[in-house]
């Protein structure tokens, strides 16, 4: 299975096939607008602006599962991200990323590790790096700042 095999919901609820990102390097992130890690939006946007033309995309999945730190509607979340952090990367519909109600994409992502056993999402801003073939090549926990792994992203883009 590859990331391209999944469909997700756009902010307005339309089904989107991730196959539209085939051949690109992706960073999939579960986010929240009222979290201690929310300032990472600035670094994520800087990375996106620097690398987007080289085939890099950030896929933002707002999630309200961790102490309700992503309150509001999808439109309200988008306004905060657009106005406060000036983000331009793609944001999808708010979803669940852990537990029985997690969307299928996240149920798959958490199993993509060397042991193949599910490793739950612990908090907001867990990041998955996907190579051009659609495979997870790295997972970065919430404390990992984007500037700490930009070289890994560039390495994948150069392949």
Residue 51 in this model has a pLDDT that exceeds 90: yes
pLDDT at 124 over 90: yes
Looking at the chain, the whole-number percentage of residues with pLDDT higher than 70 is: 100
Q: Smallest Cα–Cα separation from 148: which of 130, 129, 134, 133?
A: 129
* pLDDT for res 83: 87
In the prediction, which pLDDT does 139 show?
97
CB-based contacts of 72, cutoff 8 Å, min separation 6: 33, 80
Q: Which pLDDT belongs to residue 115?
A: 86
Domain 3-158: which CATH number of 3.30.360.10, 3.40.50.2300, 3.30.565.10, 3.40.30.10: 3.40.30.10
- Residue range 129-147: mean pLDDT, rounded: 97
Q: Which residues are catalytic?
A: 35
Q: Phi/psi at 138 (nearest 5 deg)? A: -160, 155
The lowest-confidence range among 73-82, 129-138, 142-151 is: 73-82
How far out from the chain centre does Cα 135 lie? 14
Domain positions in the chain: 3-158
CA distances from 119 to 48, 81, 143 (A): 27, 28, 16
Residue 20 pLDDT more than 90?
A: yes
CA 108 to chain centre: 14
pLDDT given at position 114: 83
Give how far Cα 78 sits from Cα of 19, 32, 45, 64, 81, Å: 23, 11, 14, 14, 5
Which of 144, 119, 103, 146 has its CA nearest to residue 16?
Answer: 103
Q: pTM to 2 decimals? A: 0.96
Using one digit for the tens of pLDDT, what is the confidence trace for 73-116?
Answer: 999 999 999 889 999 999 999 999 999 999 999 999 999 988 88
């Amino acid at each position: 299975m590859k990331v391209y095999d999944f469909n997700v919901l756009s902010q307005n609820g339309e089904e989107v096939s991730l196959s539209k990102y085939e051949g690109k390097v992706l960073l999939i992130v579960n986010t929240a607008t009222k979290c201690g890690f929310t300032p990472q939006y600035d670094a994520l946007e800087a990375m996106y602006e620097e690398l987007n033309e080289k085939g890099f995309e950030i896929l933002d999945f707002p999630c309200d599962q961790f102490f309700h730190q992503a309150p509001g509607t999808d439109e309200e979340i988008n306004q905060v991200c657009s106005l406060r952090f000036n983000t331009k990367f793609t944001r999808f519909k708010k979803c669940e990323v852990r537990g029985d109600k997690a969307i299928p994409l996240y149920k798959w992502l958490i199993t993509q590790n060397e042991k193949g056993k599910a490793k739950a999402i612990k908090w907001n801003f867990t990041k998955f790096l996907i190579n051009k073939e659609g495979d997870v090549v790295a997972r970065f926990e919430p404390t990992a700042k984007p500037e700490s792994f930009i070289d890994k992203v560039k390495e994948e883009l150069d392949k």
